[in-house]
Amino acid sequence: MKSKKRKNKRQKNIELIKKSDIAKSKFSKVICPELAQLKKDLLKNKNKALYEYQESFDYYYSLNTVEGQWHAWALNIVLQTALSESIKHFFIENKDLSIFFENTSINLKESELISIFNDLGLRNYNNKNVDDKFLNDDQIAYKENDENYVGIFFIHTKHKKRSEIVHVSFLEGNDVEYPLWITVFDGQVSSKFEMSDKFLFELNTENQSNGNLRNEDFKRIKFAINCIIYQHTFPEYIVDGPPHEIIEENSNTIKISDQIRSYIHSSRDVSPHLRRGHFRYLSSDRFKNKKGQTIFVSPSFVKGNAKTVKDGGRW
């Protein structure tokens, strides 16, 4: 009986999603009926909603399987998203730009990524009021540290049906092995990664020492990370407000820069493995006024000739 009620609730939430402003546009949608239902339940009776959530979490976690652990983590993302205030929506206007994010190498270190996230201020959630049973050991130990944060945001694009829920977790502590974690969740599949220098190297070279990772996992994490790095590199192409056909508060529209448009156009006839374009974070003191900024470097082989673009002296 309960399963039938849940199925009916899920169907009703899907219908609400279909009627939304985003659904009427060409942009992807956040298709996660569990999230929509949890938001409603929290408004009706927060304690009851959290209790039922805990039961589901405990069930999947107790299975002690990889699938169970991933499902439990996905539920955790749903909970934190439902409890978060002012979640940002990013709308990528150009389809080519979305594909560029998926396929562009990431040549940054963990410390550089942390600096970029801190500069952008993408944080809207704190673990202080979360029951310890939903946190790992590091999160429990450092939950009172104001420097620790969680950032949750949605990325909508025109080349996917499902929008991505991106969850960024930062923990500062001397004995924290991996301070920065990023999870990408589309309402069905959850992909969680520690942003260690080793993993970023593997992500860049697609050398999969971890057999559990698929090529699709690499694409999804590149898509999310490059979307954020792009905003740090080209802030003038991040427009306040959603696209004209969307009514969604707390939104930004991400437009394609002239440099990236030119790079994509010049790379169309080049084999994917020869593309070398990547973002670079300027951390050295020798950059003087440019230190702390991110640039895009777009060297590539075009029609048999080596071609390197250094962005008009922005170095």
For 72-113, write each residue's pLDDT tens digit: 878 878 887 887 767 889 999 999 999 999 988 888 999 999
Q: What does the angle CA 178 – CA 99 – CA 196 come to, to the nearest 5 degrees?
A: 10
Indicate the pTM of the whole model. Answer: 0.78
pLDDT at site 139? 61
pLDDT at site 156? 94
Could you give the CA distance from residue 13 to residue 37 in angstroms, rounded to a whole number?
7
* Burial state string for 154-165 with b = 16 or more CB within 10 A and e = fewer than 16: bbbbbebebbbb
Q: How would residue 212 be classed by pLDDT, with cut points 50, 70 and 90?
A: low
Could you give the CA distance from residue 167 to residue 151 in angstroms, rounded to a whole number?
6
Residue 172 has pLDDT above 60, yes or no: yes
Q: For the chain, give the percent of residues with pLDDT over 90.
A: 21
Contact in structure between 242 and 80 (CB atoms under 8 Å): no
Could you give the CA distance from residue 169 to residue 148 in angstroms, rounded to a whole number?
8
Residue 26 has pLDDT above 50, yes or no: yes
For residue 294, give the nearest of 105, 108, 101 by alpha carbon.
108
For residue 106, give the nearest of 235, 280, 290, 292 by alpha carbon.
280
As a whole number, mean pLDDT of residues 217-222 equals 88
Pairing of strands 278-281, 105-106: parallel
Residue 255 has pLDDT above 60, yes or no: yes
Residue-wise pLDDT for 39-74, tens only, equals: 888 889 988 888 888 888 888 888 888 778 777 878
Residue-wise pLDDT for 282-293, tens only, equals: 888 887 788 889
Could you give the CA distance from residue 75 to residue 89 in angstroms, rounded to a whole number?
20
Could you give the CA distance from residue 254 to residue 251 in angstroms, rounded to a whole number?
10
Q: How would residue 225 be classed by pLDDT, with cut points 50, 70 and 90?
A: very high
3-state secondary structure of 310: coil
Query: How far are the Cα atoms of 18, 26, 27 from residue 162, in angstroms, in the given order?
Result: 12, 11, 9
Q: In whole numbers, what is the pLDDT of the chain averaged over residues? A: 77
Q: How would residue 273 be classed by pLDDT, with cut points 50, 70 and 90?
A: very low
